[in-house]
Amino acid sequence: MFRVLFILTLLIYAIGCTNIQTIDERYTIVHTIASEANLSLEKRTSSDFFLTTYHKGLNISDKNLMIYIEGDGSAWDKKNRLSKNPTPKNPLALKLAAKDSADSILYIARPCMYLKQEQLQDCPEKLWSSHRYSEEVISSINQVINSAVELSSTKSLTLVGYSGGGTVATLIAARRNDISSLVTVASNLDHKFWTELHGISPLTGSLNPLNYIDSLSMIEQTHFVGEKDKIVPKIVVESYLSKLLFKDKITINIIKDFNHSCCWEKAWPSLLNTKQ
């Protein structure tokens, strides 16, 4: 009898520790985070995609608009198997946006995230793998930003991107002239170097920030890197930095004891203050 109870206890413990999230549970998590931060849901349509956004204060025209771009999400189920749905289990960029006390905030999910199943069927898997930073992706997110700018009449934007969202933010910054500051968190800013470092497939259909060094060298930037981040170690950001023409506008902050996902959310208000 003791043996049976012991085995049942182990099974219950194992089931509890798997913490498997359904897609609906992921949707519930993101909606709850946004609601508690008074961010309103809006599904926006670009020329190529339906994009999920949350926002507040877009009607405050004289304020700087803080724009947060989500990371790559659940791109892979296992090391060699792509996910069927890139909706993130841990929407860290949204969590950062929720911690921001700014009056005007826009959060943008990546293409194919938070879609209904029938909409997701029109999303090829390459959009969260080899083409995750492709021209169509960057252009579509930039269109959403253009719409927000027209609505708010703001003249100043701060782009904030987490992980792959930082790569997207950097590529967008390179093509705009209204960026007051670019902020990235744990971001693979040189994805060619990054894929070679980890020995994984190159992102053959993606744009690389290093191809836009002239424009990027003129933008004020702050890049946060976790000291213990093994996914995007500081050498990746340093590779990007080494190619910039001017270094006086660039700050890299190595945060002690942080890794790729911990503990950005908790520390975000104070980290924001350090770069302002």
CA pair distance 254, 227, nearest whole angstrom = 6
For the chain, which domains are there? 22-275 (3.40.50.1820)
Task: Return the percentage of the chain with pLDDT > 70, whole number.
Answer: 91
CA pair distance 38, 76, nearest whole angstrom = 31
pLDDT at 2: 36
Report the range out of 13-17, 104-108, 271-275 with the highest average pLDDT.
104-108
Torsion of CA 183, 186, 187, 190, to 10 degrees: 120
When pLDDT is cut at 50, 70 and 90, the band that residue 217 belongs to is very high
When pLDDT is cut at 50, 70 and 90, the band that residue 275 belongs to is low
pLDDT at 4: 35
pLDDT over 70 at 3, yes or no = no
More confident residue, 81 or 52: 52
More confident residue, 94 or 49: 94
pLDDT over 90 at 254, yes or no = yes
**Mean pLDDT across the stretch 20-29?**
81
pLDDT over 60 at 129, yes or no = yes
pLDDT over 80 at 199, yes or no = yes
End-to-end CA distance of the chain: 63
> pLDDT tens digits for 34-43?
999 999 999 8
Query: Which residues on neighbouring strands pair with residue 55, listed in sequence order?
Result: 40, 106
Query: Which residues on neighbouring strands pair with residue 42, listed in sequence order?
Result: 53
CA pair distance 48, 111, nearest whole angstrom = 9
Tell me how far apart the 2 most distant CA atoms of the chain are, in Å. Answer: 72
The overall average pLDDT reported for the chain is 88
More confident residue, 254 or 50: 254
pLDDT at 15: 32
Looking at 46-50, 96-100, 102-106, 240-244, which range is the least confident one? 46-50
Indicate yes or no: pTM above 0.75: yes
> pLDDT tens digits for 109-119?
999 999 877 77
